[in-house]
Amino acid sequence: MILLALLLANCSYSQFYGAKYINIEPANLVITYNCNYQQDSTNASQIRSTKMLLFMGSSTSKFIGLAAYISDTTLRKMTSYEQYSAYTNNPNSPKGGIQYKIYKNTPKGKMTYTDHIPSNTYKFEEDLDLFNWVITGDTSTVCGYKAQKAICNFGGRNWVAWFSPEIPYNDGPYKFNGLPGLIVKVYDTRNHYVFELLTINKVSPGIMIDMEQAEYIVTTKKDFFRAQDSFREDIMSRAKEAGMDNSTQQIIAKNMAQRNNPIELKRK
């Protein structure tokens, strides 16, 4: 219900929040995926779960976490610091979670990836055609759709995708694309990351695929992950500079150490 309400909301940016957005094109569909992932490669019993949204237009798409989408949409409508403060201090407000955004065919033939590493927001482009899929003869019913199996190696993992030719979109969750039908399920062979289709809905006119006009650090994929690794390695000194006690510093270090299993193990 929250998602449907937000999809119908006015998405103009708020004067208070100050963010401006570039409209890319209208969205026609919103596809919801569930993502189960093992953040700590040494702890198979701790599986995290989050919902992700794929907004699809006529020629582009945008992939974003549900929590990030709710937060972004809410912030755009705020007009006072009091509203902002009440939202950020409310423990029930959606926060955190997966923050990256992936834009396919933006610009044409490319994929744009944006993410935040405190205290900067980064952006880099990759070729859209990243995947050397091998389509097999295996078929099954997956997520309620007749689907066919494809396999590939990407980012240091072996992936299995099930796509449905009866849903004529060559897109899918995360960066995955390029198959003759929507990817309804995709997972690496160790089941560390599993994306699975939940729903496909049409959206009302006026919902845009857009991108924030932020002061991005425009970089390469390799340099982005280098900056991310540098932040991880420097987290203790940052915590110390912020005046946190030793106990809190150790908790932060432990939490960071558990984030050792990124979706892309090879980052070139």
The residue-averaged pLDDT of 11-19 equals 46
Of 81, 88, 49, 41, the C-alpha closest to 65 is 49
Q: Which of 51-60, 110-119, 127-136, 230-239 has the lowest mean pLDDT?
A: 230-239
Using DSSP bridges, classify how beta strands 217-218 and 120-127 pair: parallel, antiparallel or unpaired: parallel
Distance CA 63, CA 35 (A): 12
- Which DSSP helix (H) or strand (E) runs through 71? helix 66-76
Please report which confidence band the pLDDT of residue 18 belongs to, taking 50, 70 and 90 as the band edges.
Answer: low
Please write the tens of the pLDDT for every residue from 207-221. Answer: 999 999 989 999 999
Question: Is the pLDDT score of 5 beyond 50?
Answer: no
Distance CA 167, CA 145 (A): 9
Question: Is the pLDDT score of 24 beyond 70?
Answer: yes
151 phi and psi angles, rounded to 5 deg: -135, 155
**Maximal CA-CA distance, the chain:** 59
Whether 235 contacts 256, CB under 8 Å: yes
Question: Is the pLDDT score of 259 beyond 90?
Answer: no
Please report which confidence band the pLDDT of residue 17 belongs to, taking 50, 70 and 90 as the band edges.
Answer: low
More confident residue, 8 or 20: 20
Question: Is the pLDDT score of 6 beyond 50?
Answer: no
Q: What is the pLDDT of residue 189?
A: 97
pTM, whole model, 2 decimals? Answer: 0.88
Distance CA 252, CA 226 (A): 20
More confident residue, 31 or 7: 31
What average pLDDT is seen over the chain?
Answer: 87
**Which amino acid appears at position 247 of this protein?**
S
Please write the tens of the pLDDT for every residue from 68-90. Answer: 998 888 877 777 778 777 777 77
Question: Is the pLDDT score of 132 beyond 90?
Answer: yes
**Which amino acid appears at position 222 of this protein?**
K
